[in-house]
Chains A and B, each alone.
Chain A
Amino acid sequence: MALPEISRSMLKNSLVLGTFAVLTVGVVAVTQLGTAESIEKAQHEAKMQALAQILPSGSYDNHLLDGSRPVTDPLLGNKGATPAYLATLKGEPAAVILQATAPDGYSGSISLLIGILADGRLASVRVLKHRETPGLGDKIELAKNPWIGSFAGKSLNAPTEAGWTVKKDGGQFDQFAGATITPRAVVKAVHKALLYFDAHRAELLKPVEKHNG
């Protein structure tokens, strides 16, 4: 039975489109299979590098990526649960690395990695992701300015509550010329993370049960 002209061209066109859909999906699938392992390795390495910057080497002896548990709390400001990494030295809890988000940066939220020693002092703070103005607010990156290092050794009581803001607001922390909002947001987020640590210290320092143990 002969098909009318229009049906025939519709059939042909849909066959062509279908063939190319299968072909292109095939190419993407093969590439994905071929790169999946390298991508996972790259992500793992990037994460390891970020975590290794937070705590001095030698202050812990466990594999940080293995010892994490999901935490969620309004004080941390994250959307959804984020991992809290527990660092241990000879089986004793040494420090916790938390991920926190400062929602009130100059252009959007600032994502932070905060290392807190078991005694409540800050090990160090690093910025994971931000969209602050280049040349002004981006001085929160260690590569641009040593400012972020000023958190090391600070704790909830030193400085006191009133000191936990930028100097312009009567606090202890420097602001940048032309950029106060960014450091203010970072200081606030770090302070909140310390409050969170203080309230949940016991459970954060508890050993992480091994999965698939």
Chain B
Amino acid sequence: MASYREIAVNGLWKNNPGLVQLLGLCPLLGVSNSVVNALGMGLATALVLACSNAAVALIRGAVTDAVRLPVFVMIIAALTTCIELLMQAFTYELHQILGIFIPLITTNCIILGRAEAFAAKNNVAHAGFDGLMMGSGFGLVMVAIGAVRELLGTGALLANMQLLFGPLAANWQVTVIPGYQGFLLAILPPGAFLVLGLLIAGKNRLDEILAARTKARQPEVPVPSRRVRVTGVIE
């Protein structure tokens, strides 16, 4: 059984749903045009994922194999609907902006994927933690894309944070580049693809550097000579 540390590393970095598994691309690209949208969507997804993982782990003994998928989908759909109602009640304007992407959390492949691949085989605590870490990994990538797109597109960061954190957050906006003319491509959907591509490339490069460093630190292990078969027919 995986340790909590392994689960965290897996969700946040090694097997990140946004950068490695490339699941749930639809909201990842669709609503990552500003930090506030990305954060709202990321939080909603992480919450549904953690709850659905825990719920699936809780009932995994009671559900027969033949009907497990419909049951998982029912659980996920119910949780998504609850989150949607809560967002409508407490962050009404953000809910209006994110619109159809909230109910579509139900169809996000990460959620059914984690239910089937992890939660159905692990206990409640592990499964819930895995959901939280996978959801946070997804959310962090979304916020990163949102920040780059908002900065490149409008020259500012953290605009409209009051949609999520109430009126006190209205002046959180940081104008990074005053008098910026705006760069439309970053805000439009192609900008999301470009930024995601660059992030994936950056992660892969970082992994390469890290791997090279660990390799350099380890003492050279002499390669034992291998017997090579030189006669006969290779089957």
Residues of A within 8 A of B75 (CB): 20, 24
B66 near A13: Cβ-Cβ < 8 Å = yes
Q: Give the number of residues in A that approach B within 8 Å (Cβ atoms).
A: 24
A3 close to chain B: CB less than 8 A: no
A39 near B182: Cβ-Cβ < 8 Å = no
A16 near B63: Cβ-Cβ < 8 Å = yes
B9 close to chain A: CB less than 8 A: no
Report how many A-B pairs have Cβ atoms within 8 Å: 68
A window 35-60: CB within 8 A of B: 35, 38-39, 42-43, 45-46
Residues of A within 8 A of B71 (CB): 16-17, 20
CA distance A38 to B33 in the complex (A): 28
Residues of A within 8 A of B59 (CB): 20
B62 near A16: Cβ-Cβ < 8 Å = yes
A62 close to chain B: CB less than 8 A: no
B67 near A17: Cβ-Cβ < 8 Å = yes
B window 123-148: CB within 8 A of A: none
Given A17-B67, A17-B70, A135-B153, A24 and B88 touching (CB < 8 A)? no
A27 close to chain B: CB less than 8 A: yes
CA distance A20 to B89 in the complex (A): 26
A28 close to chain B: CB less than 8 A: yes
A residues in contact (CB < 8 Å) with B? 9, 12-13, 16-17, 20-21, 24-25, 27-28, 31-32, 35, 38-39, 42-43, 45-46, 133-136
- Give me 19 A-to-B residue pairs in the complex whose CB atoms sit less than 8 angstroms apart, sorted by A's number: A9-B66, A12-B64, A13-B64, A16-B62, A16-B67, A20-B63, A20-B74, A24-B75, A24-B77, A27-B79, A28-B85, A35-B86, A39-B92, A42-B88, A42-B89, A46-B93, A46-B96, A134-B187, A135-B184
